[in-house]
Structure 1
């Protein structure tokens, strides 16, 4: 799911991270007033907000993303199946001309789009049944991330004026994304493409429109044409594990001098980071500059790593070598670890039981201080030492 703020650029120069909370009816009135201030006709605004309701199911979904607590191996095995791989390859053949257009125009490899298509909507078979307008207004009213969702309401209003959005009938994911690759209204305004030539951008029913729009979005976010994104590697056991993680970027040639070798093919002549999703005993990857663009699509490291790896599988890469990683922590243990790290002065963000970037950084720092392999993978041994 797209989680970028790039779409804010099209908005009028009003305060984006504005009001939230209070009575829902009052909040809707303030949105309508701001819409009129932006120049929208009063009747259009009234029609757009007519019947809007707060959706409690959206709030429950927002607070129940426990799937991202799962480690990479478990998460990737859950999402990647032979059936999904085969269907993806069949669709690659079916839409070969569309993917050729994408690769010529935007330089995004077909496996990348196929992986997002698979994970977001199971290749378009389930695109979500939440009313999009209600979801956006509900999430903007909630004070967790109003800076993300409030601008999307005005983007949806703009789509409505163009005949591309029905406030009563347009549906999608709980977080307001629409279509086969799940794009927010602002992203559609900025990157929507009529790839099938029917005069409309139809991301829910036209695979070419959805795929080309997704590719344009990635290109806009900084995707480097024709370059790889992630590659499985083997790593020597005498490696300095503190060099792993996205905070360290070295030329691939320097990694090679340290004994990092591609499992197949050659290392790209690019800067890269060594990624150990489950520590030095588990699978290992080099992440190239395009890998960082994935985080503009989704902020979850587990999701990003799985989507990036799945894209390589769709293009013929072997199943990764899972190794024998040390057992990870339960959600409760992870929360305990986060509290211990907070007590030691680390900013790990919310204590949520999820191994996010800031928790990984803190874990790696403590491992280094304690003389443990500094691979950023938290274990019971580390928890005990803390």
Structure 2
């Protein structure tokens, strides 16, 4: 059962609206909600046994609701975001992770044609190289968020996907752990992403992104490959802008061949000439005019499919350059 204060918060507003003459249906109980989800899951092939095992130990989780509701506005500057994530400790751990898993990473790269250093960087930023993958019961967290109402449709779809994953036997309910919002395992896949993009790289019959490093890292590579990673391109590079450069022409939507930017006086960060290539390129100024500048290519946009943030994709690129 929810704590008393949560029940008051949930139902108090409905009581006030009713007393003002506005008719609203009472929200379903958590048990009624689970019965509705169970009926839909059974229609999609999830067995009663799986549903019993998944739903019997769960209840609404106040901590999940608290974390969901108190998400702060994104107010970090580029320098703060970069320095907090591309730390020397993360770089050093990434270099060790790269060395320790080199044979596996090479095998994954051979199959998926994605740079091993980028796979390691995503792994490092998402879960600190598997150091913390989340300790919430994913079924309980998703059920809480789907029942509570905020983005209910989104989380109901993810909950149904999680139940299908359990039905297929990739993981037991007690091992299906992740973030408060349902992101799972080393890659922090949402259940629908898991269904589409997780792989069984070690061919043991299960896609285990929680406990099998081969499956987890290969799943990251498959995610990037399926979204268009180009093996022969880098993500981008830091550049130096010429005096008088107009910052208004920077941005992801103003793309032109790299050679054109070079002809305008843009150089590599160390002042050397950029290669005269036709690769489609945009310039980003994450800290505004006068700060760092980056030339980014198509693979940068592939990284953004993992997390639609320029800051995130830039940090993945910078970390990948430093771990290997």
Please say whether Structure 1 and Structure 2 have the same fold, judged by a TM-score greater than 0.5: yes
Answering whether residue 317 of structure 2 is matched by residue 314 of structure 1, we say no
Answering whether residue 253 of structure 2 is matched by residue 262 of structure 1, we say no
Structure 2 counterpart of 1:301, from 301, 310, 314: 310
What residue number does 2:137 align with?
131
Q: Is the 8 Å Cα contact of residues 249 and 273 (structure 1) preserved in structure 2?
A: yes
Q: CA deviation at 1:245?
A: 1.0
What residue number does 1:321 align with?
none
Q: CA deviation at 1:261?
A: 1.2
Whole-Å separation in 1 of the counterparts to 2:299 and 2:62: 37
Distance 1:191 1:257, change over 3 A: same
Whole-Å separation in 2 of the counterparts to 1:39 and 1:199: 19
Q: CA deviation at 1:52?
A: 2.6
Structure 2 counterpart of 1:58, from 59, 64, 68: 64
Q: CA deviation at 1:134?
A: 0.9
Answering whether residue 118 of structure 2 is matched by residue 112 of structure 1, we say yes
CA-to-aligned-CA distance 1:206-229 (integer Å, 9 cap, x gap): 222110111001111222223111
Whole-Å separation in 2 of the counterparts to 1:153 and 1:256: 49
What residue number does 2:157 align with?
151
Greater Rg, structure 1 or structure 2?
A: 2
DSSP-derived class of the 1:69 partner: coil
CA-to-aligned-CA distance 1:242-279 (integer Å, 9 cap, x gap): 11111211111111111111225744541111100011
Aligned residue-pair number: 295
Whole-Å separation in 2 of the counterparts to 1:91 and 1:198: 23
DSSP-derived class of the 1:281 partner: coil
DSSP-derived class of the 1:66 partner: coil
DSSP-derived class of the 2:173 partner: coil
Whole-Å separation in 2 of the counterparts to 1:161 and 1:199: 14
Whole-Å separation in 2 of the counterparts to 1:147 and 1:236: 49
Answering whether residue 284 of structure 2 is matched by residue 278 of structure 1, we say no
Structure 1 counterpart of 2:242, from 236, 256, 264: 236
Between 1:207-216 and 1:96-105, the stretch displaced more is: 96-105
What residue number does 1:209 align with?
215
Between 1:187-196 and 1:74-83, the stretch displaced more is: 187-196
Q: Is the 8 Å Cα contact of residues 86 and 318 (structure 2) preserved in structure 1?
A: no
CA RMSD of aligned residues (A): 2.1
Answering whether residue 77 of structure 2 is matched by residue 71 of structure 1, we say yes
Structure 1 counterpart of 2:34, from 20, 28, 53: 28
Whole-Å separation in 2 of the counterparts to 1:91 and 1:253: 36
Whole-Å separation in 1 of the counterparts to 2:243 and 2:306: 33
TM-score by length of 2: 0.83
Structure 1 counterpart of 2:202, from 196, 217, 227: 196
Between 1:45-54 and 1:262-271, the stretch displaced more is: 262-271
Whole-Å separation in 1 of the counterparts to 2:305 and 2:147: 23
Distance 1:69 1:260, change over 3 A: same
Structure 2 counterpart of 1:289, from 292, 298, 304: 298
Between 1:37-46 and 1:171-180, the stretch displaced more is: 37-46
What residue number does 2:171 align with?
165
Between 1:209-218 and 1:262-271, the stretch displaced more is: 262-271
Q: CA deviation at 1:233?
A: 0.3
TM-score by length of 1: 0.71
What residue number does 2:88 align with?
82
Pairs within 5 Å for 1:343-354? none
CA-to-aligned-CA distance 1:286-316 (integer Å, 9 cap, x gap): 111111122221133332322222222224x
Answering whether residue 48 of structure 2 is matched by residue 48 of structure 1, we say no
What residue number does 1:95 align with?
101
Task: Give structure 2 stretches of 5+ with no counterpart.
Answer: 1-26
DSSP-derived class of the 1:232 partner: strand
Task: Give structure 1 stretches of 5+ with no counterpart.
Answer: 1-20, 316-386
Whole-Å separation in 1 of the counterparts to 2:243 and 2:70: 38
